[in-house]
Structure 1
Amino acid sequence: METRKARQTLAEIEARHHDIIKLEKSIRELHDMFMDYSRRLVESQGEMVDRIEYHDKNASAYIDTATQETRRAVRYQSKARKKRVFILICVAVLAVLLVIIIGSWVGLS
């Protein structure tokens, strides 16, 4: 009787041990899956970070170029404004001279 109980207990312990080994194997497989997923995630995010860094550098270069071109445009605009004022003054002086010449020519007749 005791031998039978001992064998039954041994069988139960062996079954539990077998179940624990299966559980351990499943946990290892799950761990491997997570590790593989994390490696893939890091690789894909690494590529994404590289692309973001590349676009950031390009944007910085474009901003620097745009800043220089804006400064140049402001200088050109200032020069153009000065030229317009100079031309308007010249036209006004010519108009006054024409009025004087025409006035004196009409007054002489």
Structure 2
Amino acid sequence: MDGGFSSYHNGGPTPQQDFGRLAQTIGTSILKISQNVSSMQRMVNQLGGSTDSQELRNQLHQIQHYTQQLAKDTNVHLRDLANLASSSGSSSPGEQRQRKMQKERLQDEFTTALNSFQAVQRNAATKEKEMVRKAKASAGVGLFNERKQETLIELQDNRTQKQIQQQQIQEEQNLRMLEEQEANIRQLESDINDVNQIFKELGALVHAQGEIVDSIEASVERTEVFVNEGTQQLRTAATYQTKLRKKKCILLIIGVVVLAVLIGIIAWQSS
């Protein structure tokens, strides 16, 4: 993992530049994984056929191992990208929304590429297991050592012994190749389990992001409740103010009437 993606803390690139650079790296890696899967599928289709060879199998194992490591690195980079996307900094809401959409798109593309990669891994493992089973059955590997000892005792002719020795050498080579194939199959099954782990980590990442979204939505809902409560309180206060104004008007009218009566009484007594 490139430590340069956090260099902006020391006066290096800005978070936006780091995000763009890391997103580009992830996109390139996903494209390479997809291309490798296509190459692997062509090789797997040749296994057991007329074009099958040890060189082909070696190439298949090499590209599978390289793609496996590339998937692990991409998974780490995606976690870094999620951290950068969640740190708003001085980004505008529009930029934050764009980064979130780009991150989710890369996660979806990586998941699709991983599914294809694991499918071709399983296909390769199934084919190689079947090839090893057939090779053992046809060569009688389980009886190899016993047959070798019996043949040496029964046949004493020099020419025949030489042929038997050559046959034994060939069988030993075949046995080593079978053992190597079985080791490759075990490694392939281990790699498949590693891809399963990557899927789990991706799921956990998406789940964690979902909880953040849920928290934001909950905050919005709480804000809406507070706004509604505030609106209701304002309406209640307005009602109280209206009633108070009515009371003031009534008292004013009563006061005017009383004053008018008093003036009338005073004027009548004066006359």
Q: What's the TM-score, normalizing by structure 1? A: 0.55
- State the match for 1:70 in structure 2: 228
Percent identity over the alignment?
15
- Say which of 57, 60, 65 aligns to 2:218: 60
Choose 22-31 or 1-10, whichever is displaced more.
1-10
Q: Which of structure 1's runs of 4+ aligned residues deviate more than 6 A?
A: 81-84
Q: Does 1:50 align with 2:208?
A: yes
Where 2:208 maps in the other structure, the secondary structure is helix
- State the match for 1:7 in structure 2: 165
Look up the equivalent residue of 1:58 and give its one-letter code: I
Using the TM superposition, give the Cα deviation of residue 20 of structure 1 relative to its aligned residue in structure 2, in angstroms: 0.8
- Say which of 25, 29, 44 aligns to 2:187: 29
Look up the equivalent residue of 1:21 and give its one-letter code: E
Using the TM superposition, give the Cα deviation of residue 14 of structure 1 relative to its aligned residue in structure 2, in angstroms: 1.0
Using the TM superposition, give the Cα deviation of residue 3 of structure 1 relative to its aligned residue in structure 2, in angstroms: 1.8
Q: What's the TM-score, normalizing by structure 2? A: 0.27
Cα distance change on mapping 1:69 and 1:10 into 2, 3 Å: same
Partner Cα separation in structure 1 for residue 240 and residue 185 of structure 2 = 80
Unpaired runs of at least 5, structure 2:
1-158, 250-271
Look up the equivalent residue of 2:228 and give its one-letter code: T
Look up the equivalent residue of 1:44 and give its one-letter code: L
Partner Cα separation in structure 1 for residue 241 and residue 161 of structure 2 = 117
Partner Cα separation in structure 1 for residue 227 and residue 236 of structure 2 = 14
- State the match for 2:262 in structure 1: none
Unpaired runs of at least 5, structure 1:
91-109
Using the TM superposition, give the Cα deviation of residue 46 of structure 1 relative to its aligned residue in structure 2, in angstroms: 1.3
Residues 32-62 of structure 1, C-alpha deviations (whole Å, 9 max, x = no match): 3223333233223312211211221231232
Structure showing greater Rg: 1
CA-atom RMSD in angstroms:
3.3
Using the TM superposition, give the Cα deviation of residue 63 of structure 1 relative to its aligned residue in structure 2, in angstroms: 1.1
Look up the equivalent residue of 2:190 and give its one-letter code: D
Choose 13-22 or 35-44, whichever is displaced more.
35-44
The count of aligned residue pairs is 92
Where 1:58 maps in the other structure, the secondary structure is helix
